[in-house]
Amino acid sequence: MNLTTVKNALETILNSSQEFGIEEVDFIKSLGRVLKEDVIADCDLPPFNRVSMDGIAIAEAAFNSGQRTFKIEGVQAAGSPQLTLKNNNNCLEAMTGAMLPDGCDVVIQYELLTIEHGEATVNLETVRNFQNIHKKGLDRSKGAVLIKKNTLISSAEIGVLATVGKSKVKVAKQPKVMIVSTGNELVEVDQIPEKHQIRRSNVYTLVSLLERLHIKAETAHILDDKQVLETKIEAFLNEYDVLIFSGAVSKGKFDFIPEVLDDLGVEKLFHKVQQRPGKPFWFGKKICAERSRSSKTVFAFPGNPVSTFVNCLKYFYPWYQKSVGLNFENTQQAILSEDFYFKPNLTYFLQVKLSQHEGKIYATPSAGKGSGDLANLVDADAFLELPDDRTDFAKGEVFPVILYR
């Protein structure tokens, strides 16, 4: 049996990544999407000398000449045009968020003042020029790049987009994904299975794994009939960028997927990976001649629930991340919390429960009953990736980890 290593499988998949173009969306709907333009400061930040404490604004020179009591000329409110201090020996009350009044260069907060009869008296020995003033352009200058292209948009970026007026923002288009289950044993979630049947679950797991990437995938079910499979898959290849299958890729008499994909001109890039779970994983690509830069990508995952689950995380996620311009290298690691033994010459994705202590991440095995044991995924929260060239893994060793919560 000719198995592809996990490393080679991932490399092949990453080499098959592709862009899906750019679209413009309302900034408030861009959370979790990937920015496809540099976001520039449209003015200095802050855009004016901004009062940062409620109090009075004065001229430092007056203070330094010994004056401590200042007649209040008026109030500089936030949101009002800039006032001018008429008499340098006076003051203006000034509110947080307001423009610093013209003629002033110091703000003294109310906590340090006594106000009586329209006069503010300052209880201070010294002041510092521009104290309590957030200086124009201090944070960033007009024209500065605030968010770089290819940033994954979080709440922090949403605030910055609002600040600079990017009510519409260019983001990576998401691939159109169809998730297909096969297998005559499957019935719908709201049905009672016959004795020999089970409910359809992998497609829904996949839908929700893709929802985490903000991809709205569609789903279909096809019975194990080669002719029907060909007709439907051909139509899906025309309409979607990516097809994800779950099941029918192994050696069974009704495992038609590899054959049908071959018939439909999808080039197999590998079939069977040196891993557990998920050995029968098939991956391929169809180059569409009519539109030269367009191609269709097919992930045909094995049907066991844990296989489908971890393969989606290990292979589809980085493929997607590279496709939209994100950093796709998983640098997360965890420390094995007890000795573990695994004999087969396969990369093993060990189900683990993570815990943190003193800034360190520990992984405790929670291995379950094999690739069919879906329920065990509930009791774990990550997969520790144990390399294929060893059988003994010692407590305290560090391995890559794939989180799913």
Among 36, 166, 232, 276, binds a copy of itself (CB under 8 A): 166
Site for a copy of itself in 4-23 (CB under 8 A): none
Q: Distance between CA 223 and CA 187 in Å, rounded?
A: 11
Q: Minimum distance between the CB of residue 140 and a copy of itself, rounded to whole angstroms?
A: 5
Residue length of the chain: 405
Among 163, 295, 364, 366, binds a copy of itself (CB under 8 A): 163
**Phi, psi of 218, rounded to the nearest 5 degrees:** -105, 165
Question: Which residues are within 8 A (CB) of 374 and not within 5 positions of it... i.e. 6 or more apart?
Answer: 201, 305, 306
Specify the residue, 137 or 265, whose C-beta has the smaller distance to a copy of itself. 137
Q: Minimum distance between the CB of residue 65 and a copy of itself, rounded to whole angstroms?
A: 28
User: Is residue 182 a contact partner of residue 229, using CB atoms and an 8 Å limit?
Assistant: yes
Site string for a copy of itself, 105-144 (x = CB under 8 A): ----xxx----------------------x---xxx----
Q: Cis peptide leading into 193, omega within 30 of 0?
A: no
Q: Among the candidate windows 46-54, 63-71, 315-323, 386-394, which touches a copy of itself by CB under 8 A?
A: 46-54
Q: Among the candidate windows 14-22, 234-242, 318-326, 375-383, which touches a copy of itself by CB under 8 A?
A: 375-383
Specify the residue, 266 or 313, whose C-beta has the smaller distance to a copy of itself. 313
Site for a copy of itself in 274-293 (CB under 8 A): none
Site for a copy of itself in 174-203 (CB under 8 A): 183-186, 189-202
Q: Minimum distance between the CB of residue 331 and a copy of itself, rounded to whole angstroms?
A: 6
SS3 for 349?
strand
Site for a copy of itself in 57-96 (CB under 8 A): 75, 77-82, 93, 95-96
Q: Distance between CA 368 and CA 299 in Å, rounded?
A: 25
CA distances from 102 to 33, 72, 76, 88, 126 (A): 43, 15, 10, 10, 21
Specify the residue, 237 or 350, whose C-beta has the smaller distance to a copy of itself. 350
| Encoded tokens for 332 | 């997360």
Question: Which residues are within 8 A (CB) of 210 and not within 5 positions of it... i.e. 6 or more apart?
Answer: 177, 179, 216, 217, 312, 316
> Interface with a copy of itself includes 224 (CB under 8 A)?
yes
